[in-house]
Amino acid sequence: MDIITTTSYEALSITAANYIIEKLNNNPSAVLGMATGGTPTKMYEFLIKDRIQNNTSYQNVTTFNLDEYVNLAKNDANSYFSYMNKHLFTHIDITKQNVFIPDGLAENLEDECKRYEQLLQDKGPVDVQILGLGENGHIGFNEPGTPFTSRTHVVELTESTRQANARFFPSLEDVPTHAITMGIASIMNAKEIILLVSGKNKADAFERLLHGKISEDFPASILKNHPCVKIIADRSVLEQSSIIA
């Protein structure tokens, strides 16, 4: 794992955005794996800025989102469908047909997972997968204990994940209990992975990622087995860390 440390969240976001822009310049039909949550929002801002300034085209880009809540309407402000439209898609020239997000409202969720996994196989592999890090080490919504061999599946969110995400919802009760997520094996299939780590609340997880053993109890630890992972971490994480100060 390649670790890049930045002086601020802003610098982390620019570094990640520049990396993606460079990839798109080299390969205008790249397949990007998109993450949601608080961490990547500024990276998306920089991608939009670049789109305005340099006209980077997304017309031939394909995107796959990591996950989606179950039972939230697509137009619900907290669905990841709405998140992606708000933070990126409505600001770039992406082709709607090339955007893939699991359907958390599908009548048969198991079939939806199979369909999504098949799409990943057919249109993939993902060239660059963006990831955030859960406080409990989750990637996508793969909670501790998820088999490393998992493919796209339905997951019951842990109480700690629901609490961590409650800040986006009117109350904890409004946070969905389930989600569809790409599995750990699906994520590991990407050619390159960029893990963004920002915020004091991620310091423990970051330390465990760097120095702990590879174990299904800590999903992100599997990234150590991937041949091309970049971790971009900002100072707020490092200052809390007893290892790198």
Of 37-45, 51-59, 86-94, 183-191: span binding ligand GLP (CB under 6 A): 37-45
Lookup result for tokens 């996950």: 67
Residue placing its CB nearer to ligand GLP in the complex, 123 or 200 = 200
SS3 206: helix
Q: Dig out the tokens for 181 from the structure.
A: 């997520």
The backbone torsions φ and ψ at residue 217, rounded to the nearest 5 degrees and listed phi first, read -70, -15
Catalytic, 67? Answer yes
Residue 196: CB minimum distance to ligand GLP, A: 7
- Rounded to whole angstroms, the Cα distance separating 176 from 136 reads 18
Residue 134: CB minimum distance to ligand GLP, A: 5
In the range 151-170, which residues lie near ligand GLP by CB under 6 A?
A: 161, 165
- Rounded to whole angstroms, the Cα distance separating 235 from 245 reads 9
Q: Show Cβ contacts of residue 19 under 8 Å, excluding neighbours closer than 6 positions.
A: 128, 194, 230
Q: Dig out the tokens for 180 from the structure.
A: 């569809």
| The Cα angle at residue 205 between residues 242 and 200, in degrees rounded to 5 | 65
Verify binding: residue 222, ligand GLP, rule CB under 6 A: no
Catalytic residue (one of 65, 136, 165, 189): 136
Q: Which of 37, 137, 183, 219 binds ligand GLP (CB under 6 A)?
A: 37
Catalytic, 143? Answer yes
Q: Which of 14, 24, 67, 203 binds ligand GLP (CB under 6 A)?
A: 67
Residue 54: CB minimum distance to ligand GLP, A: 26
Query: Of 159, 154, 161, which is closest to residue 178 (Cα–Cα)?
Result: 154
Residues 87 and 68: beta-carbon distance below 8 Å: no
Residue placing its CB nearer to ligand GLP in the complex, 61 or 237 = 237
Chain position whose Cβ is nearest to ligand GLP: 132
Residue 146: CB minimum distance to ligand GLP, A: 13
Residue 60: CB minimum distance to ligand GLP, A: 25
Residue placing its CB nearer to ligand GLP in the complex, 56 or 184 = 184
- Rounded to whole angstroms, the Cα distance separating 245 from 231 reads 17
Catalytic, 10? Answer no
In the range 123-152, which residues lie near ligand GLP by CB under 6 A?
A: 132, 134, 140-141
- The total of other beta-carbon atoms located within 10 Å of residue 8's CB is 13
User: Which run of H or of E encompasses 225?
Assistant: none
Question: Active-site residue numbers?
Answer: 67, 136, 138, 143
Q: Give contact residues for ligand GLP (rule: CB under 6 A).
A: 35-39, 66-67, 132, 134, 140-141, 161, 165
